[in-house]
Amino acid sequence: MEIKNMKNAILIFGGICCIVAASVVVTSFILSPAEAQRSVSTRFDYAVINGSYSPYPTDGPSVVTAAVNICYLQTAGCQDEEIKAEVNIGKFLQDERLENNSKARTLVQDRAVQIAFSKAISKLGSEGWEIVTSPTVEFDLYYLNPQGIQTVKEGNKTGRQHIWFKRARQ
């Protein structure tokens, strides 16, 4: 008789737990808005880094300058912001142990573009912007090869590199 009462108590306790769990689940569905309702209230702002260029006026004899443009999309059009980067040619050649030739000058220009992209991406990230698309920007890799010689593996370059960002509207 005692075992039967114990089984009944366990069944009753289990039934009560099931009822409480079901009521919690039903209440959470009733009180929380559906996904479609939540997404209507979330609005986003968009921005794009729409490529790099050499700003005017042209570089001085010892410095290479590059810039990227950030376009903050608005209903009236783009609100543009220019992010510039300068690289001292002599310091770059010395730091990377390269000879001063046309190939090295191309690498100096590439470094200036890479710094400009880095500055723009860092700026947007610190302001809460998230990258939406994978950037096509590839940075050059500088390393010492097994013979101890400074070597450069150039990144894949494309004409225009759009990097899209979004953030929740504040």
Quote the pLDDT of residue 6.
64
Query: Do 117 and 144 belong together in one domain?
Result: yes
More confident of the two residues 38 and 89: 89
Residue ranges making up the domain that contains 125: 43-168
77 with 157, same domain? yes
Q: Is 38 a domain residue?
A: no
In this structure, the answer to whether residues 24 and 55 fall within a common structural domain is no
Q: Are residues 16 and 95 in the same domain?
A: no
Asked if 148 and 74 sit in the same domain, the reply is yes
Same structural domain, 160 and 130: yes
pLDDT tens for each residue of 1-26: 566 666 666 666 666 655 755 665 55
For residues 68 and 96, state if they share a domain: yes
Please state, in angstroms and rounded to a whole number, the distance separating the CA atoms of residues 156 and 158.
7
Q: Are residues 15 and 60 in the same domain?
A: no
Instruction: Count the domains in the chain.
Output: 2
Strands 141-144 and 44-53: unpaired
Select, from the ranges 11-20, 79-88, 127-136, 145-154, the one with the highest average predicted confidence (pLDDT): 79-88
Q: Which of 29, 141, 60 is nearest to 96 (CA)?
A: 141
- Split at pLDDT 50, 70, 90, the class of 85 is very high
Distance CA 77, CA 71 (A): 9
On whether both 54 and 133 belong to a single domain, the answer is yes
Mean pLDDT of 102-115: 89
Local structure of 17: helix, strand or coil? helix
Q: How far is CA 93 from the centre of its chain?
A: 30
Q: What is the mean pLDDT of the chain?
A: 80
Residue 107 is assigned to a structural domain of this protein? yes
Please answer whether residues 135 and 165 qualify as being in contact, where contact means their C-beta atoms are separated by less than 8 angstroms: no
